[in-house]
Amino acid sequence: MARLRTELPAGARAPRFFRLAGGVVLVESQVPAKTGKGLFETHSLLMGESGAPARPQPGDL
Which residue range is the domain that position 12 belongs to?
2-47
Q: Total domain count for the chain? A: 1
C-alpha dist (Å) from residue 11 to 7, 19, 47, 50, 58: 12, 25, 23, 27, 34
- Single-letter amino acid, residue 34: K
Name the band, by pLDDT with cuts 50, 70 and 90, for residue 8: confident
Taking the CA atoms of 27, 30, 33 and 36 in sequence, report the sign of the dihedral they define. positive
Q: How confident is the model at residue 6 (pLDDT cuts 50, 70, 90)?
A: confident
23-49: average pLDDT: 90
Query: What pLDDT score does 16 carry?
Result: 94
CA distance 61 to 59: 6
Q: Establish if 57 belongs to a structural domain.
A: no
Nearest alpha-carbon partner for 17 in 42, 44, 41: 44
Inside any domain, residue 24: yes
Q: What is the pTM of this model?
A: 0.76
Mean pLDDT over residues 18-44, rounded? 91
Is 52 contained in some domain?
A: no
